[in-house]
Homo-oligomer: A and B are copies of this chain.
Amino acid sequence: MPPPTTDCLRADARRNRDQIMDAAARAFADVGSDVPMDEIARRAGVGVGTLYRRFADRESLVVAVVRSSLDALLQKIRAAAEDEPRAWGALVQSMSFSHELRLTLPRTADLPPALAAAVRADAGTARLRAELTELVERLVAAAQQEGSLRADVGPGDVTHLFALVYRSAPTRAEDPDDIVTSRALAVILDGLTTGGNTDLPGRPLETGDLRG
C-alpha cells in the first residue's frame, strides 16, 4: 500500500473528486444550492457514499466549489497581468473573464446566508481572496499611474463593479455570446475611464471597505 501522499490523492480518486465538483457546480446552477446530495452523486456517476467520502457535508462541497471558482479566476487574472503590457488592458481583460468563466461557475454569490457564512469562514477561500485583493490593488495603482483609470476610484470600487458584472452573467450557456453582459461591461469601463467625469460621493474605496 503506497503511503498517503501529502497533497495528492491517487489519480483515480482525484478524477473522482473533480467529477463530483463538476457535477455539483452544474447542479447548483440548474437547481439551486439546495439540490439533493443524491442528485449530485447521480450526476457525478458515483454513489452518495463516495460523495460523502470526499466531502464531509454539503457545506464542504459548496466551499470547495467556490474555492475552485475563485482559484480559476485568480489564475486568469494573473495571466492577464503578465500578458498585457498596460494595467488597463489587464483590468479590462479580467472583467471580461467573468464573461468567459460564467458557464462553469455557480452563482456563488447567491448563496443562502448560512452557506455564504461558511464560505466566508473558510481559510482557503480567504487566502485566495487576499491574493485577488493584492493583485487588483496592484493593477488599479498601475492603471492610475499610467493615466487610464480615473483617479477618484479605489480597488474597492473596481472590485465591487467587477462583482456586479460577474454575478449578473448567466450560468447557463443560453446565450454563448452574451451581448448583454458585454455591453454592460463596456459601459462600466467607460465610466471608469479618466476624463470628464462627475464627482463620486465619499472617498476612493479600499478593498477592506467592501464588507462594511
| Contact surface of A with B, Cβ cutoff 8 Å | 30-34, 107, 109-110, 112-114, 153, 156-157, 160-161, 163-165, 167-168, 174-175, 179-180, 182-184, 186-193, 195-202, 205, 209-210, 212
A31→B113 contact, CB < 8 A: yes
Do the beta carbons of B190 and A205 come within 8 Å of each other?
no
- Contacts known (A167-B168, A180-B210); A197 close to B190, Cβ less than 8 A: yes
In the bound complex, do residue A198 and residue B190 qualify as a contact, i.e. CB atoms below 8 Å apart?
A: yes
Min CB–CB distance A177 → chain B (angstroms): 8
How far, in Å, is A193 (CB) from chain B's closest CB? 8
**Bound-complex Cα distance A33 to B167 (A):** 18
Q: Which residues of B contact A192 (CB under 8 A)?
A: 187, 191
Give bound CA distance, A51 to B157, whole Å. Answer: 42
- Quick one: given A32-B113, A190-B197, A191-B191, are A168 and B160 in contact (CB under 8 Å)? yes
Interchain CB contact under 8 A, B191 and A188: yes
User: Chain B residues with Cβ under 8 A from A187's Cβ?
Assistant: 153, 157, 161, 188, 191-192, 200
Q: List 11 A-B contacts (CB under 8 A).
A: A34-B112, A109-B110, A110-B110, A179-B212, A180-B212, A186-B200, A186-B201, A187-B192, A189-B191, A189-B198, A190-B197
Assess the B180–A205 pair: CB atoms within 8 A: yes
Are the CB atoms of B156 and A180 closer together than 8 Å?
yes
Nearest CB of B to A191, in Å: 3
Q: How far is the CA of A160 from the CA of B178 in the complex (A)?
A: 12
